Structure 1
């Protein structure tokens, strides 16, 4: 079984897709317009006001959490609230130290540099960032061998905002240089209702409160998915109904898209069924599970698992992944705890190594 095609077309993926290109028009521009993340907003508003009062650059900010929660949007809001320009790039796009040096030297005083997927920066690029973040300077080596000398170039006082979905992959020296660290949490259905209602107003879509809740409750706690669902349900309402998104219209549209009441799609259900049918519900090692469904282990860990863990359908144990009774109940199959042999499928026990 290969999930590649399904992953590319998943409506419930929290990764940015071409279908999200209109998302920019839906993004809030101020902290007051930004729905949710109250803890992060409260602390950031204090730091922003203090920095503006001192006429200083905001301290460097690290935003981390699952994809689709608004890290890029929040970075743009911070720039707007500070009244400065923002330069947006990503870790994979900065291939060489010279690429980063070119970006940094073109910043103006108090500007913001936003680096998405900052955990994917190479070590050589990271080392250029250290003096830039601490001393607002670039250290460049000119020449080679005994005649080599170091040249320091002063930089404008800027703010680095880094975003990552995997904070644990950041090196300690880089992480420790951020003065402000904020975790973004999954959104509640009530918060997503506000986002869906606001987006519908901007797009000129007629929607009832129950219709907004139906979309919000299936959006996996993620605004990006909620906005994507809104556009697809709008199409359904236009063709199969009178154009207004009601609870019944939203339910019919999302059922047609095979998104169930918890926001699980066909890919999620197939993965859960693979654990049940092939491994007795677990435990099963990540690499073994990945091989059995023809998927990369990183994709399972980053794309499939987070929401299943949040729902309580999956447990990560030292022996591997294990389905919970809640998962069996949702799949409407009898609970079978599987083999409890102390090791995950595909892993050797100590006894095995001594035979």
Structure 2
């Protein structure tokens, strides 16, 4: 069971690896006013929290849906911070039995915020227990087995559940319907990422030009987590090379780490090259594609494919994945020339 989080501190800087952990914590804004991007979601959340405060009640349960790295965990921390309540953090994969969930729920204090990351990966028995807990703040615990089994009701302290998911379609309808508010987080625009990077650079003590920040932002796949990670790699490159974080240094650092001008990394290019050269642009099935690049099909589907589809390099069809004209052009190829490559990657 994950220890309670008091909502005031993001990290403990005295733990091992304190510098990186403290930096990660400092990057997380503490309030909705500090949170960059997601303007509509911020407004909706603020209204929900303000209404709950005016009525002196716990806020409704909140579901945060969207791709990784857009701020779901940060928003959960902000909900706890702005309501002045403690935060308990756990994850769906860690709750594999109803008893695991019962142990967490029964130890909550009144008004506590329970954050379950990747909530769609909870065990089905735990999901069914959560239905009653969310609606009536009560769970039924089975004691004994067989004909002598007895159900003992256990009242829970009122709490707010914040669930985060990257695959909202995998949530059963009874669970999804019990959330009072569902927020869908969108990818960030370049200007928003520049603002995120300005704050991160100040925390890192990195002097960097506006055009350099814009270059990093344009290669960050619309994701703040990636933008902050690339900024740290640029910082490291400039430090080791003994140079300033100029535009040329940024481009050299990103080239070293295999991040091209569209934000494609090594795995993205492996997938694209396989589709273009080995399968003549497609169509190619997901499982075949995964075997060809030596990666799990789930990783291709959840991490690589959404980005390639979003920027228009591939399209999904009933027969499989197909490279678009933009995909051929980005790699400097024409469809008729694919045969020249054969199976050589």
The TM-score, its normalising length taken from structure 1, stands at 0.87
Matched residues in 2 for 1:227 and 1:293: separation?
27
- Structure with higher RCO (Cα < 8 A, 6+ apart): 1
Aligned to 1:216: 217
Query: 1:289 maps to what in 2?
Result: 289
Gaps of 5+ in 2: 1-18, 340-345
Identify the residue that residue 207 of structure 2 maps to in structure 1. Answer: 206
For 1:29 and 1:83, how far apart are their aligned partners in 2?
12
- Report how many aligned residue pairs link the two structures: 320
Aligned to 1:33: 34
Distance 2:336 2:79 in 1: 50
How far residue 145 of structure 1 moved from its aligned partner, in angstroms, is 3.3
> Retained in 1: the 8 A contact 2:120–2:168?
yes
Please show how residues 141-290 of structure 1 align to structure 2 within 5 Å.
141-242=142-243, 244-290=244-290
Instruction: Give, in whole Å, the separation in 1 of the partners of 2:90 and 2:312.
Output: 35
Aligned residues: CA RMSD: 1.7
Unmatched runs of 5 consecutive residues or more in structure 1: 1-18, 340-355
Structure 1 residue 288 displacement after superposition:
1.6
Contact persistence 1:329–1:335 (CA under 8 A):
no
Q: Does the CA-based 8 Å contact 1:328-1:335 persist in structure 2? A: yes
User: Structure 1 32/124 Cα, relative in aligned 2: closer, same or farther at 3 Å?
Assistant: same
Query: 1:70 and 1:139 mapped to 2: Cα distance?
Result: 34
In structure 2, C-alpha distance between the alignment counterparts of 1:96 and 1:51, rounded to whole Å: 32
Name 1:346's counterpart in structure 2: none
Residue 224 (structure 1) shift: 0.6
SS of the residue corresponding to residue 109 of structure 1 reads coil
1:63–1:182 contact (8 Å) kept in structure 2: yes
Match of 1:66 in 2: 67
| CA deviation vs aligned residue, 1:121-168 (integer Å, no higher than 9, x gap) | 011111110110000001112233333322111101101111010011
Cα distance in 1, alignment partners of residues 273 and 173 from structure 2: 39
Shift of 1:280: 1.0
Q: 1:241: how far off?
A: 4.2
Tell me the distance in 1 between the aligned counterparts of 2:332 and 2:148: 73
Deviations 1:35-62 (A, max 9, x none): 0001100100000000011111110111
Q: CA deviation at 1:336?
A: 4.6
Task: Name the CA distance, whole Å, in 2 between partners of 1:336 and 1:129.
Answer: 55
Task: State the distance in 2 between where 1:319 and 1:336 align.
Answer: 21
1-structure distance, mates of 2:20, 2:130:
31
Could you tell me how far apart the structure 1 residues matched to 2:230 and 2:85 are? 33
Matched residue SS, 2:335: coil
Query: Equivalents in 2 of 1:324, 1:264: separation in Å?
Result: 16
2:195 and 2:87 map into 1 onto residues whose CA distance is 27
Change (3 A) 1:211 1:338: closer
Question: Could you say which residue in structure 2 is the equivalent of 1:319?
Answer: 319
Corresponding position of 2:16: none
In structure 2, the partner of 1:116 is 117
Question: Is this contact kept in 2: 1:220–1:263, CA < 8 A?
Answer: yes
TM-aligned CA distance change 1:131 to 1:67, over 3 Å: same
Give the secondary-structure state (helix, strand or coil) at the position aligned to 1:160.
Answer: strand
